[in-house]
Amino acid sequence: MRNVLNENVLVLNRLWQAINVCTVERAFMLLYMGHAEVVMEDSGDFQTFDFHEWREFSQGHHGEERGSHRLVQDPHPTRDPAAVF
């Protein structure tokens, strides 16, 4: 049985450029601490969510697949992206 928390997540900077890859576990920690946001793609449209918005959004879907949820973006545009790690 594989551990989903060890899967990889793409990390984006404020320009939506890929800057790193981290584990799902690390991405959840960054999301919870307010250092990252979830980026969801659905039919070509993108939405971003902080931890509380993502929790609320996720509760309404009961495990069903919808869009791509595997991106994490640094929401702090003035901070050096390397400071996230």
String of DSSP letters for 4-32 = GGGSEEEEE-TTS-EEEEEEHHHHHHHHH
Cα–Cα distance list, 37 to 2, 3, 14, 29 (Å): 25, 22, 11, 11
Give me the pLDDT at residue 7, please.
Answer: 93
The string of pLDDT tens digits covering residues 10-69 is: 999 889 899 999 999 999 999 999 999 999 888 989 999 999 998 988 887 655 454 544
Model confidence, pTM: 0.65
According to the model, what pLDDT value does residue 84 have?
37
Q: What is the torsion angle, in degrees rounded to the nearest 10, for the CA atoms of residue 3, residue 63, residue 66 and residue 70?
A: -20
| Confidence band for 79, pLDDT divided at 50, 70 and 90 | very low
d(CA 73, CA 39): 7
> Alpha-carbon distance 16 to 30, whole Å?
17
Domain boundaries, the chain: 37-69
